[in-house]
Amino acid sequence: MVRYVSPAEYQRLMRERQRAIDEYNRKVDQYNSAVKRNIDKYNRDAAAHNREVERRRQEQIRAIEKYNRDAASHNREVARGQQEQKRAIENYNRAARAHNAQVQANEQRRRSALQRLLSQPVTVRYEVFHNSTITLNAAFERLEQHVGNEVSDANDDLVLDLPGKENANSLEVMNALLEGGPLSDVMPANLQGSQLEDVLQRISVDLNARWQGALFALNPRNPDAARHFCTSAREIIAQILDLRAPDSDVINAIPNCGMTKDGRPTRRAKVEFILGRRGIGSVELGDFVEADIENVVGLFQVFNSATHGEAGKYEMSKLAAIKKRVEGGILFLSRLVG
């Protein structure tokens, strides 16, 4: 049955309906807003998650790339190290072969020179130097045997190679003096050339100047060439020992060292001091150094014992032999004192 309402009632009903519609729409809007917020939050979280995933993926990619780079670099370094090691081994082997060949050559040279020396007569003039040459060779053989029985006493160049060259030099020079022939590796015309300048310069400027004076005196036109040369060389050897082994230092280091009649450490004590400072405890090397200096001094005595003028009567080949022996002895001593 149709119910009739008044206009006022109709307006009230319409307002209530509109309020209901508005409330419905408001709740729909709230719902939609809530849904939108949830969707937006989900999208934000999903985007953040995706960014984090991507960031981690990029970090992983970078880590993998860095690992690959580091691995490649490591492999290159390993390969380079292997190549360097291989080259070092090859260089060492070449050096060892060359060293062994040189040792064999030096030993053959020494034996040949010794055989020549023992097979020829010795004049009275050279008897002292001849005996000291034989003594030096015996000292080298003892040193060689000692080094062969030891793992290492110090560096081989100083302990055995240089003494070996000194010994061979002494034998060849003695043969050259007795036979009158030239040395195979010495050009007599070049008496003024020298390999000692830089070596002596490092020890003392005065020593180098004295050596230059000694070379200047070593001239075949100088009637007393050998005597002047040997006198200067003797002073050089004495000064090298005094500069590198001062008396006070030797006494402080070796209180019970041997002393000369005038109260100074002996030459042997100075040699022991120098070897000790270089960490070399080889008695055999000390004996060799002493014998080597004595050998050079023995050569000086040969020429200083002659009457004035006779000492200079030597052909170029013998002057070259004298220079070679003295120069070798000074060079050896200079290397020894460091």
> Confidence band (pLDDT; 50, 70, 90) for 122?
confident
Residue type, 159: V
Average pLDDT on 22-27 reads 89
Residue 36 pLDDT > 70? yes
DSSP 311: G
- Angle in degrees, CA 311, 335, 224, rounded to 5: 10
Higher pLDDT, 149 or 169: 169
| 3-class state of residue 73 by DSSP | helix
In angstroms, rounded to a whole number, what is the distance separating the alpha carbons of residues 248 and 257?
Answer: 11
CA 111 to chain centre: 31
| 3-class state of residue 278 by DSSP | coil
> Confidence band (pLDDT; 50, 70, 90) for 311?
very low
| 3-class state of residue 293 by DSSP | helix
Q: At what angle do helices 162-179 and 127-149 cross, to 10 degrees?
A: 160
Q: How far is CA 77 from CA 68, 81, 89, in A?
A: 14, 6, 18
- pLDDT on residue 240: 93
Assigned token pair, 63: 């880590």
Specify whether the CB–CB gap between 112 and 167 falls below 8 A. no
CA neighbor of 136 nearest in space, from 103, 167, 162, 100? 167
Residue 231 pLDDT > 70? yes
* Residue 99 parent element (H or E): helix 7-118
DSSP 158: I
| Longest Cα separation, the chain | 173
Specify whether the CB–CB gap between 241 and 270 falls below 8 A. yes
